[in-house]
Structure 1
Amino acid sequence: MACSSARWIIVLGIVGMLAGTAMAAAQPVPPVHRFDATPVQSDGMETGGVVRSVGPGDTLGINVFGQPELGAQVTIDADGQITVPFLGVLTVQGLSPTAVGQLIADGLRSKGYLRDPQVGVEVVRVRSRIASILGEVNRPGRYPIEGRLTLLELLAMAGGLKDGAADTAVILRGQDDGPARQRIELFVGNRQQPARELQDLALQAGDIVYVSQAPHFFIHGEVTRSGSYPVEPELDVMRALSIAGGMTDRASARRITVNRKAPDGTMTKLKVGLGDPILPGDVIFVDERIF
């Protein structure tokens, strides 16, 4: 009787093991996720506004899925090359991060280090695609071009225009000593409704944007606020007086003069009325009444 019970216990144990094995085999296998860099769209611009191509000075972070010892952070040298563990020197200039990852994966596979390597490449720091902005902006400097960067976006990154900035910005494009050096001038003065050209113009690597100081006129004498002020379109004497806070009680509207520089550099003193135009560099003097 004891032997018979033992046999049934053994049989039931074997059946339970077989049932558990069958249930485990029936469970779906979770998909293997590929660790890869950001895919490139058909127009060559990478999704998410990331870097389209790499170049000298860029720092890349290399990650090999499941093989942390093969990861590295490298900087592209002046020849457009990087040094990768186990692979040596690779030329990557002009490639997208995805293409760099594929190049490393192909090398690891062809040399027999890994059967199916999954390599991700991230641009940690951009130095090859830089645009510079100088002049009358709040934060002048050099800014990386990651994906597509417009002039309006660069102005925003630089903290916007200063109060004394000119209405136009000049973009210098091309090599300093090259024959194809371009000078592009765009109107940036309308800060309420930016021009379509300002919103659409995409900057290129090496572009230099310069925002000059607005031309000024000077006013002194019997006015409330003597000083220097930006020249507005169609500025006349009456408007200049208003900008300076108006005339004092001792001022005479009939004794206003303007010192203006002639093309040959000489100064000319002009007696003006309230409707006469004011030009950049003019010095307005408001004299007091005689009686």
Structure 2
Amino acid sequence: MKTLLLLLMISTVFNLVLAQQQVTSQTSPQTTTVSDAKVSRGYQIGPGDVIEGKVLGERDFDFLVTVDDDGKIEVPFSDQPINVMCKTERELRAEITKLVARYVRNPQVGIRVVERKSRPPATIYGEVLHQQQVILTRQTRLLELLSFAGGVTEKAGGIIQVFRPQPPLCADPKELQEWKELATDMGVPSKIYSLTSVRQGKEESNPIIYPGDIIIVHRAAPVYVIGEVMVLREIPITEKGLSLTEAIAQAGGFSRQAKTSEIKIRRLKPNSREREIITVDYNTIRKGLQKDIMLEPEDIVEVGKAKKGIGEALLDILSGGANSFTQVLPQRVLY
């Protein structure tokens, strides 16, 4: 009787576990495994690379070769050159293993790229913290390289330009066709990207960077603030733009003698080096009676000096601040 009762309990527990597994399999979210995900192929062999091959216990089959300009190598145990262009170490090891298997039973083959010379480094410079050349050994995108260079400086504008002096090695046909379409007799193919879009991680603004690519983070166009401000400054116009009030604030504000009712903005005329003068009453902007002025590249903001009243001049003399007055007025000594 006890045995029968024990068997019934075991059967009940087994059925409960089985039912729970079926419910879990129906309600659990789908999990992506490594095999489902897109995995980078790794380093792809190209001309100039030096490849070392070793066969365990069979030193006669060991080799050290350089990939020729056609992407091929020659080994003693093959009558024909082997095409290794754009193959990975794993793919080449499988091919070499088949060749050696003609002479050796179950060969253990090791393949290693000992010198990677087929790809020039990518270059990143301009308004980044660490201008440098980077040797790329795997698939890399623009945003990662910007981070690798320490990010952009405060003087960076909103434009990043990627030059591609040579067709990308081992790229897919679509990318090669894009390069050919951009290539012209007049210059090196390039594309321009928005810094904001790159930071957002948008795929269309975060391209794959290939060896030999040149990345330039352009400097923001400057605005110059001169005259009666606390600090004479060259201020970059960032991607968000720069208003007159922001420029004055970055220059430390006005000095005590500033004529805020008549600020002059000297702006370049289109397709010319001549400048037009835009006069702005800063007081009306501050009171909200006039919209703030957005500055343009190469603008010169000139803050003039206001004329002093008699009371202000006397105050300057008493405080020792009116150097121009004390230099002009004659001085006598009363004994």
TM-score for both structures, normalised by structure 1:
0.70
**Secondary structure of the corresponding residue to residue 284 of structure 1:** strand
Q: In the alignment, is the contact (CA less than 8 A) between 1:127 and 1:144 conserved in 2?
A: no
Match of 1:197 among 202, 211, 224: 202
Q: What is the alpha-carbon distance in structure 1 between the residues aligned to residue 271 and residue 40 of structure 2?
A: 55
Higher strand share: 1
- Greater mean alpha carbon deviation, residues 126-135 or residues 89-98: 126-135
Match of 1:179 in 2: 181
The count of corresponding residues between Structure 1 and Structure 2 is 245
Q: What is the alpha-carbon distance in structure 2 between the residues aligned to residue 255 and residue 286 of structure 1?
A: 8
Distance apart, 1:241 and its partner CA: 0.5
* 1:262 aligns to 2:253 (yes or no): no
Q: What is the alpha-carbon distance in structure 1 between the residues aligned to residue 117 and residue 216 of structure 2?
A: 20
Cα deviations by residue, 1:164-197 (Å, 9 ceiling, x for unpaired): 2222212345758943446433222489xx2121
> Quick one: percent identity of the two aligned structures?
27
Match of 2:129 among 138, 157, 172: 138
Match of 1:285 in 2: 302
Cα deviations by residue, 1:57-104 (Å, 9 ceiling, x for unpaired): 333343333446754554323221234465585331122211212232
Match of 1:188 among 182, 190, 195: 195
Q: What is the alpha-carbon distance in structure 1 between the residues aligned to residue 49 and residue 150 of structure 2?
A: 25
Match of 1:235 in 2: 242
- Cα separation, partners in 2 of 1:76 and 1:158, compared to 1, 3 Å: farther
Q: CA RMSD in A?
A: 3.3
Distance apart, 1:268 and its partner CA: 1.7
Query: Unaligned regions of 5+ residues in structure 2, if any?
Result: 1-33, 168-178, 184-188, 283-291, 309-335
Match of 2:142 among 113, 135, 151: 151
Match of 1:95 in 2: 87
Q: What is the alpha-carbon distance in structure 2 between the residues aligned to residue 212 and residue 184 of structure 1?
A: 13
Match of 2:56 in 1: 65
* 1:105 aligns to 2:121 (yes or no): no
Q: What is the alpha-carbon distance in structure 2 between the residues aligned to residue 240 and residue 175 of structure 1?
A: 42
Query: Unaligned regions of 5+ residues in structure 1, if any?
Result: 1-39
**Secondary structure of the corresponding residue to residue 181 of structure 2:** coil
Q: What is the alpha-carbon distance in structure 2 between the residues aligned to residue 82 and residue 203 of structure 1?
A: 27
Distance apart, 1:282 and its partner CA: 0.5
Match of 1:115 in 2: 105
Distance apart, 1:135 and its partner CA: 2.3
Q: In the alignment, is the contact (CA less than 8 A) between 2:93 and 2:109 conserved in 1?
A: yes
Q: Which amino acid aligns with 2:243?
A: D
Q: Which amino acid aligns with 2:202?
A: E
Match of 1:19 in 2: none
